[in-house]
């Protein structure tokens, strides 16, 4: 019995990097479309009795990438794979983790049901938007943290600079900010904002003294970048020496790149949990760090039945 890495179309570069780290080839498979956009999968290798890991974040186009994942799981199940692990570095629909009002869905739970029903035996993901999503699955689910990778990068970036401060862009991210601050030995500040409606945020005030500090905004997802850019502006106006941001999942939809380019932020650091688009690659203010080694280590530990949590000790 061996281990195999299978990639969908969502982030083949990440899958190849994970396979290279593990010194194994990616599994030969076709993941194509019929003329009416139906998804068609054919596994070109024998996977009977194998431990198979499907690398497939469910970012834009979320529905296509999710459906690819489900069809690949079904193909592997019918091909008698011993165990199927869905490696979903970015878990789409994670922001719909509760009912914000009457007659609304909990789509994060629905997606968990779909992955489980399709035949996955295990899920490996990263920086879930809400930790309770782990409990939406009735199969083992490991939620990795990009924090060690990103804090290592921050230590290198700010080596020799004393006045560094970690800033949470909202009250809900304080626990995350505190964890980052502990790793780089820095104080924290909080942006108190009021969101009038989805996609639009208004910065109210800053909790903490940020004057003359190199401020680092930390978050799990940057989508339209409105919140980050508003927070960066508020920090700049409050006298911050510099402002940058460190975010796990760079969704970066709509006007995000234009906003970041025209913002007072010096730099936005994201991971390759989502494959960077051409516009992201072409933006001088955005830098991508790879989480492939971290994911590869977790995959290896799952395959060899050893501790995943010790990666973060």
The catalytic residue positions are 193
The CA distance from 108 to 97, in Å, is 5
Residue 300: alpha-carbon gap to chain centroid: 20
* Eight-state DSSP code of residue 254: T
**In whole angstroms, how far apart are CA 222 and each of 34, 43, 76, 263, 282?**
33, 34, 33, 14, 17
Q: Residue 5 in contact with residue 15, Cβ under 8 Å?
A: yes
The CA distance from 261 to 172, in Å, is 26
Which residues sit in the known binding site for ATP?
36-38, 95-96
Q: Which residues pair with 269 in a beta bridge?
A: 246, 287
Which residues sit in the known binding site for Mg(2+)?
129, 170
Which residues sit in the known binding site for D-ribose 5-phosphate?
195, 219, 223-227
Count of Cβ atoms closer than 10 Å to residue 206 Cβ: 19
Q: Is the peptide bond before 233 cis (omega within 30 degrees of 0)?
A: no
Tokens of 271: 């991971």
Alpha helix positions (H), 158-244: 174-184, 226-237
């Amino acid at each position: 019995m061996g281990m195999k890495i299978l990639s969908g179309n969502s982030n083949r570069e990440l899958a190849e990097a994970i396979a290279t780290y593990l010194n194994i080839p990616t599994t030969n498979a076709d993941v194509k479309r019929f003329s009416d956009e139906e998804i068609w999968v054919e596994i070109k290798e024998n996977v009977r009795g194998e431990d198979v890991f499907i690398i497939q974040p469910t970012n834009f186009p979320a529905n296509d990438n999710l459906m690819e994942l489900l069809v690949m799981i079904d193909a592997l199940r019918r091909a008698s794979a011993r165990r199927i692990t869905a490696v979903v570095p970015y878990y789409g629909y994670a922001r719909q983790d509760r009912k914000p009002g009457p007659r609304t869905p909990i789509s994060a739970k629905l997606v968990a049901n779909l992955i489980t029903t399709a035949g996955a035996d295990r899920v490996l993901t990263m920086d879930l938007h809400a930790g309770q999503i782990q409990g939406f699955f009735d199969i083992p689910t490991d939620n990795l943290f990009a924090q060690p990778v990103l804090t290592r990068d921050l230590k290198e970036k700010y080596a020799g600079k004393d006045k560094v401060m970690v800033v949470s862009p909202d009250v809900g991210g304080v626990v995350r900010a505190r964890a980052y601050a502990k790793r780089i030995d820095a104080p924290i500040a909080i942006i108190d904002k009021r969101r009038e409606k989805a996609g639009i945020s208004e910065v109210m005030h800053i909790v903490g003294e940020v004057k003359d500090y190199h401020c680092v905004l930390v978050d799990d997802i940057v989508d339209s970048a409105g919140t980050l850019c508003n927070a960066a502006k508020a920090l700049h106006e409050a006298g911050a020496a510099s402002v940058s941001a460190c975010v796990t999942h760079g969704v970066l939809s709509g006007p995000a790149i234009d906003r970041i380019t025209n913002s007072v932020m010096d730099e936005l650091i994201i991971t390759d949990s989502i494959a960077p688009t051409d516009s992201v690659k072409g933006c001088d203010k955005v830098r991508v760090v790879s989480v492939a080694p971290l994911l590869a280590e977790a995959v290896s530990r799952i395959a060899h039945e050893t501790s995943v949590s010790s990666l973060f000790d």
